[in-house]
């Protein structure tokens, strides 16, 4: 059974339910429901609740201007399997800049639904965005100048096969086109990554330390691409685009193989646990990754409100009607979600 036509009994008190462009937004939720910020269980993002422990950051990381080649690039090259990389202040920084580096009015295929910042940025730069459903990508490629795929996709969890991605890239690249693959949620399954293919003309892979590493606040991401594109991006970003403490923490996280291996195992188990918990409440996930589950529902606003009244924040999508659940952290949070999912 797919997520739930059984939920129509849960009604939102008004049609306004919480508007969200992204996950997060606890302050807005706190004001709306009259529940203190500290009381909320925030499941509205796909951030690992058991993130990398930042540890004690040396004073020098705060005090000195950050320098490249301080260990961050080397650790990243080892982790991603390529030296063709540029650190950025979160992959969002690159998502916003890439459309400005593309001359003319490009025809840009972007998944729908997906992380909506891609479409927003390409539209804002004057390009033509062509929304694509997950199974329409192959047919669309010959008509596109740029293809942007989130792999695995957020929120649907859809994964794209490496052979398909390489074929689409080859097709685009012969025409001067780009394939941009946003791998923000790839770290649990690194075997699916195109990162080691970089550098290749017309291929851009985006990575983030915000999800698997749980370091969203540090604002660290990477662009894996050819040298010419990296240089143009670096010129636009200017010097010191990453803070010293962020560089310091990211270098350690990327080098810590034991933490990564253990975290991969743990997140895979937690992801399954979340899917089972949702299933037990008639919410059959339609897709997801280890870090979130995505459920189609008939009444997303009603569901969001039902959970919101109990201080549980989830991300709602209206097209198609669906909810995304991030991972609870400690056992108390799991219990709270289980209790919150019970229907009135």
Ligand X SMILES: Cc1ncc(COP(=O)(O)O)c(C=O)c1O
- C-alpha distances in Å from residue 210, one per residue of 11, 97, 219: 34, 19, 7
Q: Which residue is nearest to ligand X (CB)?
A: 90
**What is the SS3 assignment for 42?**
strand
Which pairs with CB-CB distance under 8 Å and at least 24 residues apart come from 336-342?
336/41, 336/310, 336/312, 337/41, 337/43, 337/277, 337/312, 338/277, 338/280, 338/281, 339/310, 340/41, 340/306, 340/307, 340/310, 340/312, 341/277, 341/278, 341/281, 341/283, 341/307, 342/281
Question: Least separation, in Å, of the C-beta of 245 and ligand X?
Answer: 16
d(CA 144, CA 147): 7
d(CA 275, CA 279): 6
Nearer Cβ to ligand X, position 177 or 210? 210
Q: Which residues bind ligand X (CB under 6 A)?
A: 90-92, 115, 150, 154, 182, 184, 208, 210, 216, 221
Rounded (10°) CA dihedral 320, 129, 119, 4: 10
Question: Least separation, in Å, of the C-beta of 24 and ligand X?
Answer: 9
**How far from each other are the two terminal CA atoms of the chain, in whole angstroms?**
20
Question: Least separation, in Å, of the C-beta of 47 and ligand X?
Answer: 8
Nearer Cβ to ligand X, position 182 or 299? 182
Residue 13 near residue 299, CB atoms below 8 Å: no
Place of tokens 């959970």: 307
Question: Least separation, in Å, of the C-beta of 90 and ligand X?
Answer: 3
Structure tokens at 332: 């108390």
d(CA 92, CA 219): 9
Residue 219: CB atoms within 10 A of its CB come to: 20
Name which of 147, 150, 89 is nearest 116 in CA terms. 150
Nearer Cβ to ligand X, position 132 or 184? 184
Question: Least separation, in Å, of the C-beta of 272 and ligand X?
Answer: 21
Nearer Cβ to ligand X, position 185 or 248? 185
Question: Least separation, in Å, of the C-beta of 208 and ligand X?
Answer: 3
Residue 192 near residue 162, CB atoms below 8 Å: yes
Nearer Cβ to ligand X, position 116 or 268? 116
Nearer Cβ to ligand X, position 214 or 302? 214
Nearer Cβ to ligand X, position 21 or 339? 21
Residue 282: CB atoms within 10 A of its CB come to: 17
Nearer Cβ to ligand X, position 48 or 154? 154
Nearer Cβ to ligand X, position 188 or 341? 188
Question: Least separation, in Å, of the C-beta of 326 and ligand X?
Answer: 11
Question: Least separation, in Å, of the C-beta of 216 and ligand X?
Answer: 5
Question: Least separation, in Å, of the C-beta of 145 and ligand X?
Answer: 21
């Amino acid at each position: 059974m797919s997520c739930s036509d059984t939920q129509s009994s849960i009604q939102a008190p008004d049609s306004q339910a919480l508007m969200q462009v992204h996950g997060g937004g606890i302050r807005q939720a706190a004001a709306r429901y009259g529940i203190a910020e500290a009381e909320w269980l925030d499941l509205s993002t796909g951030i690992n609740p058991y993130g990398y422990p930042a540890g004690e950051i040396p004073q020098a990381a705060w005090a000195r201007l950050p320098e490249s080649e301080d260990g961050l690039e080397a650790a990243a090259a080892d982790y991603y399997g390529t030296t063709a990389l540029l650190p950025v202040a979160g992959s969002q920084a690159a998502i916003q800049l890439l459309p400005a580096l593309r001359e003319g009015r490009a025809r840009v295929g972007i998944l729908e639904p997906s992380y909506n910042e891609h479409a927003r940025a390409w539209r804002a730069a004057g390009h033509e965005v062509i929304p694509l459903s997950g199974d329409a990508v192959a047919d669309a490629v010959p008509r596109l100048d740029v293809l942007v795929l989130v792999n695995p996709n957020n929120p649907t969890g859809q994964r794209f096969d490496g052979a398909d991605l390489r074929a689409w890239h080859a097709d685009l690249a012969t025409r001067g086109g780009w394939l941009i693959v946003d791998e923000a949620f790839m770290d649990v399954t690194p075997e699916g990554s195109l990162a080691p293919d970089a550098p290749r003309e017309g291929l851009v892979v985006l990575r983030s330390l915000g999800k698997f590493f749980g370091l969203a606040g540090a604002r660290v991401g990477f662009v894996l691409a050819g040298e010419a594109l990296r240089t143009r991006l670096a010129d636009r970003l200017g010097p010191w685009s990453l803070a010293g403490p962020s560089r310091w923490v990211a270098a350690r996280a990327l080098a810590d193989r034991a933490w990564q291996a253990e975290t991969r195992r743990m997140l895979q188990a937690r992801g399954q646990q979340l899917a089972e918990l949702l299933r037990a409440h008639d919410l059959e996930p339609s897709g997801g990754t280890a870090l979130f589950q995505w459920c189609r529902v008939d009444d997303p606003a009603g569901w969001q409100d039902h959970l919101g009244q109990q201080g549980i924040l989830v991300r709602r999508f209206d097209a198609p009607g669906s909810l995304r659940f991030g991972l609870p952290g400690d056992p108390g949070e799991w219990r709270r979600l289980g209790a919150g999912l019970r229907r009135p």
